[in-house]
Amino acid sequence: RYHFPQLPTGSAIILAYSQTHRQVCGAFAVLTATTQLEVEVTSRANPQPSPTMPPLRVSGQVYETTTAGRVGMGGALVGFEWLNDGPFFEVYADADGRYVACGIPANRRLAVSPWQEGFEGPFGWHQFSADTTLDFELKRVSNQLTLVRR
C-alpha cells in the first residue's frame, strides 16, 4: 500500500511495473481528499488477465497482411499515451496478435499505437466512450540500403 497525502485536486495516472511484473489494466483517478485506487499486477513470464476487467475496454488484433492473408503479430506492444503527459498504459498481444486493454478513461484523448521490431504501424488519437474494437495492421520495414555511385 502507498499513501500520498496532500495531493492537489486534479487527476492522476498510476503506473506500476518492474522487471518481473507488469500492470494488468490502466489506472486513472480523479483526486480528492479520500481517493483510493487499486492497481493489479501480473507476472511478465506468466501473465494473467484481470479477474475484474474494469471498463472501458479496448481490444483487437495486431496483424500483418501476407500472401497467405491476415497473420496475427504475437508479442506486439500496443501503447496508450496521454495527451502531452506521456505514457498511460501498454499491453502485449498474445500469440495470435490479440490484445485487451482495460481501465481506459472515458472521453479522454489518448494516442494509440502498435509496435513490433522490424515493423511500422499506425499512430492515431482516439477518444473512447464505450468498449471498442481497434485492429492494427503493421507493415514490414525494409532494412536494405541503396548505394549510389558518383
Which residues pair with residue 41 across a beta bridge? 23
Q: What is the pLDDT of residue 70?
A: 96
The 10s digit of each residue's pLDDT in 107-119 is 989 999 999 999 9
Q: Are strands 139-140 and 119-120 parallel, antiparallel or unpaired?
A: antiparallel
The 10s digit of each residue's pLDDT in 117-132 is 999 999 999 999 999 9
Does pTM surpass 0.85? no
Greater confidence (86 vs 140) lies with 140
Residue 93 DSSP SS3: coil
Share of the chain above pLDDT 90, in %: 43
Contact, 143 vs 119, CB < 8 A?
no
Which residue type is seen at 60?
Answer: G
The 10s digit of each residue's pLDDT in 61-107 is 999 999 999 999 999 999 999 876 678 888 889 999 999 999 998 99
